[in-house]
Amino acid sequence: MSAVAVTLKDIANEAGTTLMTVSNVINGRYDKVSQATVDRVRAIAEKLDYVPSATARSLAARSSRLVGVLLPDSAGHDVLVSPHNVAVIGVIEGMLRENGYYLLLRSIPPSDPASVTAALRSWNLDGAVFIGFLDSQIRTMRPTLDTSMVVLDSYEKNSDVMNVRLNDRKGGYIATRHLLDKGHTRIAFVGPKITERGVVKERFSGYRKALREAGIPVDESLIVATDVAHASGVEAGRFLSTEHPDVTAVFATADLLAAGIMEGVRAAGRDVPADLSVVGFDNLDLATYVSPQLTTVTQDLTAKATRAVELLLMSMRSESIPAAETVMDVQLVERGSVRDLTA
């Protein structure tokens, strides 16, 4: 194999034909070329070990075959620290690869929508999947973007935004209802600060609804706002153990937080579930790694990511989209992190 890259001109010279003819053959435009010429050009290209330029082919096809997966830039945190994001991106990459696309992963400052627009245009993306952005951020960015895009876990009611989300309110409700059914009445809520309608607010709404049905008022002192990180969960577990020892249960909006809470409770000299019962959300693999194994609200991450890619591919191919929004169901998975106070 030659160290010098073979060009279309090299193939044209050896085949005794024009550069345009070789370009047509290499790019699959056989209708303008005889079968004999097609066979000859392809044989010479193979003999010379010709490798097509991805950039040149994308320009010719007006398609980069690139799909961006964009996440909000979180200062001080790796964008892949979240097991949820890792699982979802893994599924997205696999499906894109099967369909002949490449994935470009990038974190973006959500406070600067202009940077998102500039990035998408400079990369010439065929489409994009947005993960973890607030609805207000999507609302601001959407009018500036002319590419196909799908948003995960958004509640933005814009017919121009394809969205795949969960029934988050049901998730918060069944988690809290489970704790109530086990005899718990002092139940804390741990999750990111609630600023607008979205995943966290909907899960909190489910938590509040379950308490209201049980005739229990929401105690604002038991709402612990924190970012989704294991270390933050440890702090929350310590805080609840020392400042609110009367609390017997907690619903955390993510398994990563729940696992940290369990560690923090033990660090404070208490036990899970004897002193504090814990319910998480996501049903990630780590839910079975902790001890006791974590009771959690399960979502089908594979199905969610698969649906997002399906919608994106349909949009990029200008196919009819059956519905702009897909809402996926959730269920409770009972394990060993909840104590039954009614027994």
Read out DSSP for 70-125?
EEE--TTS-TT--HHHHHHHHHHHHHHHHTT-EEEEEEE-TT-HHHHHHHHHHHT-
Does a structural domain hold residue 1? no
Residues 30, 140 share a domain: no
Task: Note the pLDDT of residue 56.
Answer: 53
In this prediction, residues 172-194 reach a mean pLDDT of 97
Residues 20, 71 share a domain: no
In terms of Cβ atoms closer than 10 Å to its own Cβ (0-12, 13-18, 19+), residue 167 is: middle
Higher pLDDT, 143 or 13: 13
Does a structural domain hold residue 199? yes
Task: Note the pLDDT of residue 144.
Answer: 74
pLDDT, the chain, mean: 87
Residue 302 in this model has a pLDDT that exceeds 50: yes
Q: What are the b/e assignments for 52-81, b being 16+ CB within 10 Å?
A: eeeeeeeeeeeebbbbbbbbbebeeeebee
Q: Provide φ and ψ at 296, rounded to 5°.
A: -155, 165
Does a structural domain hold residue 313? yes
Token duo for residue 172: 């918060």
Between 127-136, 224-233, 315-324, the lowest mean confidence (pLDDT) is in 315-324
Between 106-120, 194-208, 217-231, the lowest mean confidence (pLDDT) is in 106-120
Q: What's the pLDDT band for 183 if we cut at 50, 70, 90? A: very high
Residue 342 in this model has a pLDDT that exceeds 90: yes
Q: What percent of the chain has pLDDT over 90?
A: 53
Residue 95 in this model has a pLDDT that exceeds 80: yes
Residues 137, 87 share a domain: yes
In this prediction, residues 205-231 reach a mean pLDDT of 96
Number of neighbouring beta carbons within 10 Å of residue 3: 4
Report the distance separating Cα 1 and Cα 299, nearest Å: 50
Residue 213 in this model has a pLDDT that exceeds 90: yes
Single-letter amino acid, residue 218: V
Q: What's the pLDDT band for 160 if we cut at 50, 70, 90? A: confident
In this prediction, residues 319-340 reach a mean pLDDT of 90
Q: What's the pLDDT band for 114 if we cut at 50, 70, 90? A: low
Domain span at residue 46?
A: 8-61
13: CATH: 1.10.260.40
Q: What's the pLDDT band for 1 if we cut at 50, 70, 90? A: very low
Give the tens place of pLDDT for each residue, 52-94: 655 555 544 556 788 989 888 765 556 677 788 899 999 999 9
Report the distance separating Cα 47 and Cα 245, nearest Å: 76
Residues 102, 78 share a domain: yes
Residues 292, 179 share a domain: yes
278 backbone φψ class: left, alpha, beta (φ>0; ψ -120 to 50): beta
Does a structural domain hold residue 278? yes
Helix 255-267 / helix 83-98 crossing angle, nearest 10 deg = 150
Task: Note the pLDDT of residue 319.
Answer: 79
Between 20-24, 54-58, 105-109, 278-282, the lowest mean confidence (pLDDT) is in 54-58
Residues 162, 122 share a domain: yes
Report the distance separating Cα 38 and Cα 284, nearest Å: 52
For residue 298, what are the β-bridge partners?
282, 331
Does a structural domain hold residue 195? yes
Residues 241, 221 share a domain: yes
Does a structural domain hold residue 336? no
Report the distance separating Cα 304 and Cα 245, nearest Å: 38
Residues 259, 180 share a domain: yes
For residue 5, what are the β-bridge partners?
none
Does a structural domain hold residue 343? no
Higher pLDDT, 34 or 112: 34
318 backbone φψ class: left, alpha, beta (φ>0; ψ -120 to 50): left
Structurally, how many domains does the chain consist of? Answer: 3
Task: Note the pLDDT of residue 77.
Answer: 59
Residues 249, 134 share a domain: no
Residues 56, 113 share a domain: no
User: Contact, 279 vs 252, CB < 8 A?
Assistant: yes
Does a structural domain hold residue 293? yes
256: CATH: 3.40.50.2300
Task: Note the pLDDT of residue 215.
Answer: 97
Residues 261, 146 share a domain: no
Beta strands at 325-328 and 331-333: parallel, antiparallel or unpaired: unpaired
